[in-house]
Amino acid sequence: MRDLIRHCVFAPYRKGAGPTFHLYMYDLGGHLRRCAGAYKVAIGYKLVMSLPIDEHGVVNEARTLFEGDDFGCSPLHSTDSNEAVQDLMAFLTLSPSDTDDEYFESYTPDQTAYCQQYAETLSVEVLNWFEEKEGEEKCED
């Protein structure tokens, strides 16, 4: 089972000045994964970067940056909660200054370029996004 539970759109740049990011989160049917000594509900995810729209209104390209089923949601939060989105995005916006270089050794060239160019800005956008309207659902179900 792989049902969409959240779709969030993050636009940290002015229209046409930078990419837009789409986060898709999927229910994996209650699958549990062991993480840090505890069992957590696994969530599938995909982070897609849409490059700016050209002068004709056409999206130049959309790239899947990350896709997996290895994110463990905290047992304190619902799998479709704002906290789950924030936790997942904290993981997906790590940059080299955040952790050891070895963490990024398996990254593709697209993932590495994303980390160097956009991850920090996207991380700030995610924080601002949830602070502005605390308690509101901001993503599509």
Interval 96-141: pLDDT, tens: 888 888 888 999 999 999 999 999 999 999 998 888 655 555 555 4
For the chain, the domains span 3-132
H helix runs in 59-118, sequence order = 82-92, 109-117
> What is the helix (H) or strand (E) element at residue 41, kind and residue range?
strand 38-50
Q: Of the candidates 53, 28, 22, which has an alpha carbon nearest to the alpha carbon of residue 139?
A: 22
Q: What is the mean pLDDT of the chain?
A: 83
Q: What is the pLDDT of residue 126?
A: 93
pTM of the entire structure? 0.82
The angle, 0 to 180 degrees and rounded to 10, between the axes of the packed helices 119-132 and 109-117 is 60
Q: What is the pLDDT of residue 51?
A: 83
Look up tokens 């920090």; give the residue: 120
Q: What is the pLDDT of residue 5?
A: 92
